[in-house]
Chain A
């Protein structure tokens, strides 16, 4: 379990993290969302034992990061922001170095190193200095280092930042594969990632925890939750048909692809009435779908009021 209670970090008069409390259980993947400078990384650095909290506490698998730092660090795999590693080393020597510091010996050391090399497909670059590797490989070396000792808890600060779509997909697959038995906290500002890997999401802005729920619940907060979007052959006819549906609050039309989005009045379902109205009027549609809600819109609504409080 990763647990923080009232975790706070102040730099002089500036409060970077302001009383954040949450708990993550095994099997959960917690996504940390928030604008840049919201305090995501600072929170993660405190849990990882790099920065000392000004107030409050953090525990990793029952070990307090301040009073039992070594035990807490042993239980945790940590990928710092930007996936730093020693550039002059090769991935193999770097992983061996981390394995030694992690106290892995003998057969298990060899087996763990081989395992992460296989999982992150590092075979091709094992003997090249890390400095000469592409961004994607550097990130994978950082991830390999984090999961090398098969830790019960993982903290990954922007694990997919700078990766191409294929690599992102692979890393997400890796996280999903590990998620069943581990406690995983990832930070990201890519909202699609929340859907892809997280079972739970917290939104942080201005150092404060503003929302803590499942991605689906967050989406339900969107005004697009339950909205119906469609692309009609004849936009005008479709609009006329929609005008007959009572529970529609407003209609938006995308100026580029003429996609029509009908937003329902609060708590009303409009998919069935709309599809019937279209059928009755004989309007031809090429696409018709029910929206779950838009995370980016929820994200903006929640974090925007705090945008001005950011770091100077």
Chain B
């Protein structure tokens, strides 16, 4: 069997070996629902779309995804299994990619379980389902980017708490870079080109673009590149820190 598939399967199964996975999914679903209905004024706004639902995803992911990602490599290093894994006939890239993919699939499962809200909005009105599909895709891509960042920082330490906090901070900065508040601040003293570049770096900008229902190749490339770059960094960090 392909080594990526083997490690992917083991990893994904390991999430469900403890109650943590179920707790995570329940918290994710409750928060996603509560935020949408109470703070997103899902009913009150009287429009049949899922904008309030997806609008909260960056903030939900900001705390929940690093919690998934923190164990990726920190745990392997702490328990010493990293030595076992990397001395089996598998390349570093395969290992990094397989573990990332398993974590991504896990978040994907949690995201897929929000389907009742999709059914609800279709029951209540006549939403543009194309936009909703695009939003789900954008949400999944954003989670992937968060996970890749978390994977790299998890490789940098054997302490999961440190990995968690660092990931939250970096993801927060990358989100905030796209907010009008932050961009307005930069606009006051930087040329427009630089401000656009900062906005272009932001996960938030690209997520917003996709969740409007426009799947632009540039946004897809942005996410693909972000994920690839952070996974590449993960492999480098693992190589550097192996000896500790």
Contacts and interface: CB of A to CB of B under 8 A. Distances in A.
B89 A80 contact: no
A84 B79 CA distance: 6
A50 B83 contact: yes
B221 interface: no
B89 A101 contact: yes
Interface stretch (B3-11, B123-131, B180-188, B224-232): B3-11
Given A51-B242, A100-B6, A101-B90, A87 B18 contact: no
Given A80-B80, A89-B14, A102 B1 contact: no
Interface string A170-207: 00000000000000000000000000000000000000
Contacts of A45: 83
Contacts of A74: 89
A304 B91 CA distance: 40
A72 B86 CA distance: 12
Interface string A215-241: 000000000000000000000000000
B84 A97 contact: no
B122 interface: no
A82 B80 contact: yes
A86 interface: yes
Interface string A102-129: 1101000000000000000000000001
A57 B79 CA distance: 28
A167 interface: no
B87 A101 contact: no
Contacts of B23: none
B81 A70 contact: no
B18 A86 contact: no
A88 B14 contact: yes
B243 interface: yes
B202 to A, nearest CB: 37
Interface in A7-63: 11, 45, 48-52
A50 B3 contact: no
Nearest to B6: A100
Contacts of A87: 79
Given A48-B87, A50-B86, A84-B84, A101 B14 contact: no
A275 interface: no
Contacts of B90: 101
A73 B242 CA distance: 17
Contacts of B217: none
Contacts of B18: 88
Interface of A: 11, 45, 48-52, 69-70, 73-74, 76, 78, 80-82, 84-89, 93, 97-98, 100-103, 105, 129, 145
5 contacts: A69-B91, A76-B87, A78-B84, A89-B10, A97-B6
Interface of B: 1, 3, 6-7, 10, 13-14, 17-18, 79-81, 83-84, 86-91, 239, 242-243
